[in-house]
Structure 1
Amino acid sequence: MPKILVADEAGACYGVNRALQMVRDATRDARGPIHTLGPLIHNPSVVGELESRGVGVVASAADAPGGTLVLRTHGVTPEEEDAARASHDEVLDATCPFVIRAHNAAERLAREGYQVLILGEEGHPEVEGTLGHAPQALIVGGPEDLEGVRLARRVGLVVQTTQSRSRLRALVGALIGRVDELRVVDTICEATTLRQASAAKLAAQADAMVVVGGRMSANTRRLVQICEASCPRTHHIEGASELEAPWFDGAELIGVTAGASTPQSQIDEVVERIGELVGEG
C-alpha cells in the first residue's frame, strides 16, 4: 500500500479561519438576514455550508439591503464598502489583514506620486479591491505585460498576496533599468510562500500529487502549477468525491496539499478517501 503524506504547510490560513469564525459567530448573534458580498472565500463547499446556516451571497450591497453584510476575505473597493455601510444595519469586515496591507500600500504609493503597478491577476476580486485604492494603477501579470507600457520615472509596486516571489523577482528584474526610482512593497502573504515551498518539496518526492481547493482560488491554482513542475501526475480537486483510483496506480508515495481556503476537515476527508481507493486496489 502506498504512503500518503500531507505537506507540512497546507490548508486554511489565518485570514480564512478568522473570516469563517467571524461569520459563524454572526449566525448566532445576528437578528436579521446575513449575506456576504461575493463568496466569502473561493471554496464552493464552505460557501455551501455557510448557505445551509442561512448565510447568503450577494453580488452587490444593493441586492439585499438591511441586515448584516460581510465583506469577503479578498476585500472590496472603498466605493463598495461605502455602499455596504449605507445600505445595511451592520457591516462585518472579514478582509484578510494581509490584503488590507496591500490596499494601504497601493494608496500610499499613489498619494506619494508613484506610478503604481499591481502584480496580480486582472479581474481577481483581491486585485480589483486593491485597484480601488489606487484607481490609476496598472495591473500586470508579469514581465511580459510591460511590453509597450510607458513607465513613469518613479514606479511603486505592490503584489497580490497569493503571487509567488519568483514572479515578483522576475518583474522587478524587468523594471530595473527602465525607471529612475523603483519602490517595491512586498505584500505577498507569508502563508502563501510557506505553502508553495512545502508543496514543491513534497511534489519532488511524490509519484502522484493531489491539490485540494476551489478552482477559482488563485493560490490553489498556483500550487497546482508548482506541483506539476516536478510531478506530472498532479490532480486538482475541490473535494474527495472527485478522486479516481487509476490516478494512483503504481504510486509508492502520494502527496496531498491544499490551498489557503481549504479547511482541515476537507484535507482529512481527501486523505481518508485516497486510503480507501488504494486499499481497495
Structure 2
Amino acid sequence: MAGGSLTLPRIGALRVRPSWQERFAETSDVLKSDKHQQTVVRVLDLEIGGRDFITMAGPCSVETEHQLLSTAHHVRQHGAQILRGGAFKPRSSPYAFQGHGLAGLKMLAQARAETGLAVVTEVMSEDDVPLVAEYADILQIGSRSMENYTLLEAAAQSGRPILLKRGMMATVGDLLKSAQIVLDNGNPNVILCERGVRTFDATLRNTFDVAAIVLLKHISHLPVIADPSHACGYRELVPGLARVGVVAGADGLIVEVHPTPEKAWSDGEQSLDFAEFDKMMASLNPYIALREEAIAAQTLETVG
C-alpha cells in the first residue's frame, strides 16, 4: 500500500479466552484462589464441602407432627444428616398451603431434638430472619428470593449458614452475585444449590443444569448441593438425577421425602416415599465411594 504498510490479520490466529477470574470479576470473593480452594461449612458436627457427602432430606412442607417426626426418624436411620422442611412456603397459587410458620419451626426443632439431625428451612422475608434463625441451623434462600438482596443481607447478618438456591431463570453469574452479597455482609458460610432452571423444554418441571455443578465446582470454593426433586418434578426420575449430581461433583443432595406422597400438601408428585428413599440411598453408595477416592487423590496431588 503506497505510503505505508498493511497488516493483515492472521487466519486462524490463536484467541486467548478470558480467564474465569476475568469473566466473573464482580464476584471475585467466591472464586477459587491459590490461598482459598475450598470452603467447608460447619453445621453441628457436620462439614459441608469436606470429604463427607451430605444428604438433606424431608418433606416439602411441615404438615403435622406425626408426618414430620416419622420422616425425620426414617431418613436419619437411612443416611440423611440434615432435615429439610418448609415452615414458610412460597407457593405459586395464593390458594395453596402457605406453611404453618412458627408452629412449623417448633416441629422442626422437636425433630432435631429427637433425631440429632440439623435443620434447614426457608426464610422468605427479612422480617422473619431472627425468628427462623432461632430454630434453624441453615437458612434456605429459595429460588424465588435469590435476587432479594435485602433478604440476603439480613440472612447473612444472622450468622447462620446460607443455602442459596439458584433462581429459576438465573444464570450462574447471577447466582454468584447473590453469593457475593452474603460474603460482603460478613458471612462466609454459603452453600450453593443447583435446582434446575426453566427452559423452552416443558417436558419436566425444570431442566437440571448439571453443567452448572461442574462449572461451580471448578471455579468456586463454595460447597455445591444438587436438588434433583425440583430439577425434574417427578419422583421416579429423582434417584437417577441424584446419581448424576454425585458424579458431577456435588458435595451433597437435598431431596423431598414424605410418608405418603400422594397425600402430601405440596409437591407430592416429586417426593420419594420411604422405600424409594432407601433404594436411592443404596444406589448412591458406589458413586459416593468414587467421589471419596477422587478427593483423596486430589489431596495427595496437592500435598505432593
* TM-score of the superposed pair, with normalisation by structure 1: 0.28
State the structure with bigger RCO (CA 8 A, min sep 6), 1 or 2.
1
* TM-score of the superposed pair, with normalisation by structure 2: 0.27
